[in-house]
Amino acid sequence: MKWAKVACDSLMNTFNAGELPPAHRWHYHQGVFLCGMELLWENVGDDRYVEYIQQYVDDLVDEYGNFYFARDELDAIQAGLLLFNLYERTGNLKYSVAATKLRNLMLTLNLTSEGGFWHKDKYPNQMWLDGLYMAGVFSLKYANAFNEPKLRETVLHQERLMRKHMRDDQTGLLYHAWDERRRMPWANPETGCSPEFWGRSLGWYGLALSQFLDLFPESDPGYSELSLELGKFVQALVRYQDKESGLWYQVVDKGDQPDNWLETSGTCLFVYTIAKAVKHGIVGKDCLEAAKKGYEGLINVLEWDDQGGLVLPDICIGTSAGDYENYVTRPTSKNDLHGVGAFVMACVEMDSLIVSNP
């Protein structure tokens, strides 16, 4: 837990909440980092963290629940995860109004022929793994908070479509994106899939599945279905972990290529996902050891800045779907928010796991 605290404190000391980059924007980069911070707050109870989260939201959401957000993409929904705890703690209706605006965004999104959400309007007829986390976890929280159980079936439908069209039976991994019309340069003419298994997109998928299990009633048939799929997915991930470092590669299944490289944000998300699967009793000791090795690998690559702040290196900047060269030539950054947010999530989950399984 101390690593999670140091990571959050380092960014809090660097940025006022509203200045988290990109400054004064409703954006999933800030949302992922602050969701990690919220997990930390739930475990340590230090109200500095929840107050910082509220400062970010209040910088953007006015007293009537109005705020500017992109209305043509799933990414805009993710930061809405921060609204539920704020509404529960304060009772301020502006947070529920804002959450309802994001929920209603899903009523206007374009759909594939089978009802799959387009990831963004500028990516027509495409589903991306990222979207399952960006909108799915919010949908389940909204279903539980505001009694709209039909949203659970929507979430299950989106996940089933991704497995149907994007999972590779040989590896057990899922391709980053799928183009129903097969019009993108990267689209396989037969399957419509992009050609590679990109680490962070797989991380978003695993994060989504593992958090879905926290939000689905165990009596719901969807819970058993998701548990089975999470177990299969984790077993597939473990097979591609780098044995020496404990990390995973940018293109997950091609660690033997000299221009491929070990990437931290995807590794963080994989460690979190595996830890959650262990906690749910879905996978066993072999996966527990993989989670420990991945966590230790992350701690080994941490750096420090001149002010003594924690720095997470080797985070792939945001990227669209593409071919192998597209992924391995992407620039890296340090302390990118979705990387640090994923690191905090991994640390929080690993803390109790290591204590109970030393």
Q: 37-72: b or e for each residue (b if 16 or more CB lie within 10 Å)?
A: bbbbbeebeeeebbebbbebbbbbbeeebebebeee
Question: With contact defined as beta carbons under 8 Å apart, do 335 and 352 qualify?
Answer: no
Sequence-separated (6 or more) residues with CB below 8 Å from residue 285? none
CB atoms within 10 A of CB 132: 26
Question: Among residues 130, 253, 314, 351, which one is catalytic?
Answer: 130
130 catalytic? Reply is: yes
Residue-wise burial string across 315-333, b where 16 or more C-beta atoms lie within 10 A, e elsewhere: bbeebbbbebebbbebebb
CB-CB neighbours of 15 under 10 Å: 17
Q: Which residue has the tokens 């940018």?
A: 250
Which sequence positions are flagged as catalytic? Answer: 130
